[in-house]
Amino acid sequence: MIPLPIPPADPLPLPLPPVILKALHLLTFALHLLAVNLGVGGTVLSFAHAARGREGDRDLVRRVAPLLPPAVTFAVTLGVAPLLFIQLSYGPFFYSATVLSAFPWLALVFLLIAGYGLLYRFVGSVASDRFRLWSGALASLLLLSIALVLANMTTLSMRPDLWRGLAASSPHGTRLNLADPSLWPRVLHLVTGITASAGMLLAGWGAWKDHAGAREAGLRWFIGATLCQAAWGTWLLLRQPEAAFRMLLSGHAFGSLALWFGIGCAALALLMAIPASLRGAARKAVGPPFLLAQGAVVGMILARDQARDATLAAVGFDPYALPFKTDWTSLAVFATSLVLLIVLLTTLVRWVLAPVQAGAEARHD
């Protein structure tokens, strides 16, 4: 049998133990996902409410929409870190996949810029009477289509057995890897997950700002999307590569526990959200399902990571086996800047949340 064309890893050692890099990778990915849920999911929800256009909807959109552009900014910024870590630990798989599907991968940049630009246009219009619905629709569509690009890269990077065929059929890297059976369920899972999480974040915002409409609408979004998720999620699970599938269903591997923890959290959140939404979405009824939904996301992030490692282990790759040599000086610089960042962020948040100056509210435009 001809060996799979998996490139060797870069010869330079990692500057930190792989475990630590993995932890940072997952942490930054979780933060990135939170911002994506808020920014991209929020865009979809805002557009949908704007399109329905009842007075309550319009009021909701007016209040929520200004949060979206900064959320997308942070989604982008926070996304850079996991992108870095993935190149570091999974370079041979990441680079091969992106080059083989280069143009779709490059499209990410244009989808992002166009979607984000249109989002600004949409948000800029909600203060007026005439919402720019087309901009909102396109912004949602473009930003969501990034899910397809990312799912394509992720699935392709885990399937070195498909690389040869793609290289032969697409020498310039113009195609998506449609040969992977998990691509479409993965995209659906992602899009629905973003929508469900955005719904819960909206409900959470409604609890914080005491906005009953937001709580009710948010819970409904969460319920609807999560119910769909049961179908897509099962589909995605069944389409996992062999090794990942066995690991996820084993019931004792860490990834399997994470998956069932995630599913359990989601199910429980659903069970609490349904009655809450039927009984007027009281403020304190939002807290527990909100936390459970975040738990579900964390569980899924861990399960996803473990599924990847299991799949790659089947082709002989172990990210923990990469050589490393801890670079203490650089680590100190990094840690110092991290501490400074936290100080800065807390200060900024404190300033923003400080009571508004008298008379300032009137000048809002």
Partner 1 sequence: MNYPVWDVPFLGSGWVVGIMAIIHIFLSHFAVGGGLFLPVMEAHARKHGDEAMLRWLRKHARFFLIVTGVAGAGTGVGIWVVIALANPQGVGHLIHGFVLGWATEWIVFIAEMACITVYYYGWDRLTPERHLKVGWLYAICSWLTLAVINGIITFMLTPGKGWAESHWMWDGFFNPTYAPSLIMRTLVMWALAGVYAFWTAATIEDLDLKERVLQVSARWVLPAYVLLPLLGGWYFLNIPPVSREVLQVGMAGAAAGNFSMATRVTMLTVMSTATIGVIVYFGPFRNARAFTRGMAGAVAVVALLATGASEWAREVARKPYVIRNVMYSNGVRVEQVEAFQREGYLPNSVWAREYAGLKGDTALARGEALYRGQCVACHTWDGYRSMQKFMAPRNLDSARNMVRMLRSRDPRENIYAKFMPPLAATEAEGEQLAAYLYQRAHPGPAAVARK
- Separate counts of helices (H) and strands (E) for the chain: 13, 0
Q: Which phi and psi angles does 14 have, rounded to 5°?
A: -70, 150
Compute the least distance from the CB of residue 261 to partner 1, in Å: 29
Cβ proximity to partner 1: between 210 and 351 the closer is 351
Which residue in 81, 91, 33 sits closest to 334, CA to CA?
81
**Closer residue to partner 1, CB minimum distance, 65 or 248:** 65
Query: Are the CB atoms for 12 and 169 separated by under 8 Å?
Result: no
Q: Which two structure tokens, joined as six digits, stand for 12?
A: 């330079």
- Min. distance of Cβ 342 from partner 1 in angstroms? 10
State in angstroms the smallest separation of the CB of 289 from partner 1: 29
**Residue 105 to residue 7: CA distance in whole angstroms:** 20
CB-nearer residue toward partner 1: 106 or 271: 106
In the complex, least distance from residue 354 CB atom to partner 1, rounded to whole angstroms = 8
Interatomic CA distance for residues 300 and 308, integer angstroms: 12
**Closest distance between partner 1 and the C-beta of residue 291, in Å?**
25
Residue closer to partner 1, measured from CB, 279 or 364: 364
- The residue among 69 and 287 lying less far from partner 1, judged by its C-beta, is 69
E strands in the chain: none
Tokens of 183: 């691509």
Return d(Cα 93, Cα 160) in angstroms, integer.
8
Q: What are phi and psi of 324, to 5 degrees?
A: -145, 160
